């Protein structure tokens, strides 16, 4: 198995990844009962020196349910009928999860509505109110 490249700064060595195979419950007909096509990929993330504490914290907040009590990230795939494609699917899932939380989310800057947008909003409200008022019963004065 090759090293897993996440980005320019992070490459997970193949020696840190643990792979296991099991019988899949997915498609495959009689093949399901004979071939171990389900792939489970594990990576120790809790005490990992390759990623920063902030990155790890963001990962645990987003994907903490995927980490077991031993601190291993567990990703599995049984989408395809053969092991190599399921293994590649697991590797891609892991890389995608790590990329999603790589950088902290951008903080929204508060902005004020422009004077024109305020006027347009108030004009629309007045127009809507006038439309509703005209739907009422006519005055008998």
Q: Are 37 and 83 in contact (CB under 8 A)?
A: yes
User: Do 1 and 15 touch, CB atoms closer than 8 A?
Assistant: no
Is the pLDDT score of 24 beyond 90? no
pTM, two decimals, is 0.71
* pLDDT confidence of residue 108: 92
| Dist CA 88 CA 104 (whole Å) | 27
Strand pairing of 4-5 and 72-77? unpaired
Task: Please write the tens of the pLDDT for every residue from 66-82.
Answer: 999 999 999 999 888 88
Q: Give the domain ranges of the chain.
A: 4-100
Residues 33 and 25: their CA atoms lie apart, in Å, by: 9
pLDDT tens-place string over residues 44-56: 998 888 888 999 9
Q: What is the CATH number of domain 4-100?
A: 3.30.160.20
């Amino acid at each position: 198995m090759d090293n897993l490249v996440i980005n320019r700064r992070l490459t997970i060595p193949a020696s840190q990844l643990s792979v296991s195979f099991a019988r899949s419950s997915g498609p495959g007909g009689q093949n399901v009962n004979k071939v171990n096509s389900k792939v489970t990929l594990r990576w120790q993330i809790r005490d990992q020196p390759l990623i920063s504490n902030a990155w790890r914290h963001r990962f645990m907040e987003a994907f903490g349910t995927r980490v077991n009590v031993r601190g291993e990230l567990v990703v599995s795939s049984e989408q395809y009928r053969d092991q190599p494609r399921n293994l590649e699917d697991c590797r891609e899932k892991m890389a995608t999860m790590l990329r999603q939380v790589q950088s902290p989310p951008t903080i929204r800057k508060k902005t004020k509505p422009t004077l024109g947008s305020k006027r347009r909003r108030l004009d629309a409200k007045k127009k809507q109110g006038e439309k509703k008022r005209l739907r009422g019963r006519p005055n008998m004065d």
